[in-house]
Every structure is written in structure tokens, then in C-alpha cells.
Amino acid sequence: MDSQLHHFPNLDTVIDQVHALFDAWETEDYLPPTVNVATLYQLKLAVHEWLANLVQHANFEGDTTDVTLKVEPRDDRLFCAIEDNSDGFVLDSHLNIEPEYLDSLPERGMGLLILKICTEELTYERSELGGYNRLHFYVSAEQDPWLGTQF
């Protein structure tokens, strides 16, 4: 698997298109030997949660929507970068939510927590000048995101 860069110009179909892409990678045995299927599932979950936030909450001004997904294997981890041309989010306060502060099985607010738990080195850069916002993270084959998480 080499670095993969994909553009998605339609918010109505971006989640389905990304799921189909990941499903194809799994069925085509596209992953490098150092990355297992469980790591791909974690990546799929993390990307899904971020894209769902873009679809539900992001403001894309004008007629142009551009979401770019880059996935690149790096040893036993997958690097992921998602860029978009929305107005962006003030994300830091949302990422600092800890599970113990959530109601049992809340209807909303779990997506960013799931994103945080599934990833390593999560960073978000919000464009202040109308450019692209960038979310970067790693998903590791060595990481079990569910250990220590209680809901």
C-alpha cells in the first residue's frame, strides 16, 4: 500500500464513498503485512466519526465542497490526514471531554470521543484565512483503543 490521496466533492455521498474505499482495501488484501484488519477498522471508525461531524456540523460556503483523505502506511501504523474547505471547528474544547463526564449512553457527543480514543497524535489545524482545515492522526496496529475505556 502506497500513500493514497482521494478527493470527495459531495457531502451527501462522502461517507458511503469512504466506506466503499476501505471495504475494497480489505477485500483486495491491500494492506501492508505490518498493518492488520483491526487497524483498518479503527481507521475506518475514526474517519467515519470525523466525516459525520463534517456532514452534520460543518459550514461549507458557496457551491464548492472539497474533502480530501490521505492514508499512508508508516511501519505498523497508518497515518491519516483529512482536509476540508469548511469554516472549521474550534475543536480543542470538544476533544478534552472525558468519558466520566458523559451521561450513560448519550445520544450525541460520542463521535469526537471515539475519534480521540482510536487515534494517536491527533492534531487539528483550523484555517483562519478561508483555506483548508487539516485533521492528522495515526492509528496503530499495536493499540487497543477499548482498553481502559468504560461507559
Residue 150 lies in a domain: no
Query: pLDDT (tens digit, 9 = 90+) per residue, 56-94?
Result: 888 887 778 899 999 998 888 899 999 999 988 776 655
Residue 147 lies in a domain: no
- Contact call for residues 82 and 102 (beta carbons, < 8 A): no
Range of the domain at 101: 4-140
Measured over the CA atoms of residue 16, residue 32, residue 147 and residue 117, the dihedral's sign is negative
pLDDT of residue 144: 65
| Total number of domains in the chain | 1
Furthest-apart CA atoms within the chain: distance in Å: 43
Residue 19 lies in a domain: yes
Residue 149 lies in a domain: no
Question: Which of 142, 4, 141, 1 has its CA nearest to residue 80?
Answer: 4
For residue 96, with 0-12 CB atoms within 10 Å meaning exposed, 13-18 middle and 19 or more buried, which class applies? Answer: exposed
C-alpha cell at 24: 475494497
Q: Can you tell me whether residue 124 is helix, strand or coil?
A: strand
Residue 24 lies in a domain: yes
Residue 27 lies in a domain: yes
Q: Number of H helices and number of E strands within the chain?
A: 4, 5
C-alpha cell at 87: 469554516
CA 58, 60, 66, 67: dihedral to nearest 10 degrees?
0
- CATH for 42: 3.30.565.10
pLDDT of residue 40: 87
Detail the DSSP E strand segments found in 59-118.
67-74, 77-84
Residue 36 lies in a domain: yes
- Contact call for residues 10 and 64 (beta carbons, < 8 A): no
pLDDT grade, residue 151 (50/70/90)? very low
CA 16, 21, 25, 31: dihedral to nearest 10 degrees?
-110
Cα separation, 29 vs 11, whole angstroms: 28
The reported pTM is 0.83
pLDDT of residue 50: 94
Query: pLDDT (tens digit, 9 = 90+) per residue, 20-36?
Result: 999 888 877 777 787 88
